[in-house]
Amino acid sequence: MKPRTNAKLALTLAGAAALVVTSGLSTAAAAQDASSTDAAATTRTCTASDLGISFHNRLGGGMNHAGGTLEFKNTSSSACALRGYPGLGLENAHHDGLPARAIRGTTWYADDPGNNVVRIQPGGTAHAVVAWTHSGTAAQQAAYLRVTPPAATSYRTVELGDAVDNGELHVTAVATTVPVRE
């Protein structure tokens, strides 16, 4: 009977040691996450004037889908951060606003990377993927896309030159990279 008690005690002590080691790792990982979160929290939010915004990687696809990748380039002299989804709007050739609505999340071309803080160094970039349909039945011709960076109050326009059904634009959150499905 005594050997079993010692074996149980040894197993209990081993389990306790594993718990302490695991707790230590969790605490260390949490501290590392907290320090990176603190760094992002102390980085100022990017404004539209901090960013060059362009539209790349034009995507076409079956079933009247179209899209592309928005690039947000930090043109300022200090780091800034973005978190969340860009605001989107449409304009005609005369820069008059058109009815539009942005739908946040996964698009036809890319999975949503999630709502995370993206710190952008001077000259660095962040991206979001935009998609829409253009079947022609309820499409309006949009010459430009209005892009408001997350948490910003002003926007930039980029050329779009496509019809957009019902003014409906699907957009992912901003991330360092947003992999596009082929």
* DSSP letters for 16-44: HHHHHHHHHHHHHHHHHHHHHHHHHHHSP
Q: So what's the pLDDT on residue 18? A: 37
Give the per-residue pLDDT at 41: 57
Query: CA triplet 162, 166, 167: central angle to 5 degrees?
Result: 60
Quote the tokens at residue 141. Answer: 């011709």
Query: What's the burial of 110, exposed, middle or buried (CB within 10 Å: 0-12/13-18/19+)?
Result: buried
Alpha-carbon distance of 83 to 61, in angstroms, equals 29
Give pLDDT, residue 30: 40
CB of 109 closer than 8 Å to CB of 67 = yes
What pairing do the DSSP bridges indicate for beta strands 168-171 and 101-104? parallel
Query: What is the pLDDT at residue 124?
Result: 98
Q: How much is the pLDDT for 38?
A: 54
pLDDT for 35 equals 40
Taking only the tens of pLDDT, the chain with its 182 residues reads 334 444 443 433 344 333 333 333 333 344 344 444 555 458 999 999 999 999 988 887 677 899 999 999 999 999 999 999 999 999 999 999 999 999 999 999 999 999 999 999 999 999 999 999 998 778 899 999 999 999 999 999 999 999 999 999 999 999 999 999 86
Q: Which amino acid is at 37?
A: T
Report the predicted TM-score, pTM, of the whole model to 2 decimal places. 0.76
Residue 51 neighbours by CB under 8 Å, 6+ apart: 72, 73, 74, 75, 149, 156
Q: Specify the pLDDT at position 94.
A: 97
Task: Name, in order, each residue with C-beta under 8 angstroms of 46's C-beta and a sequence gap of 6 or more.
Answer: 72, 74, 76, 80, 81, 82, 120, 149, 152
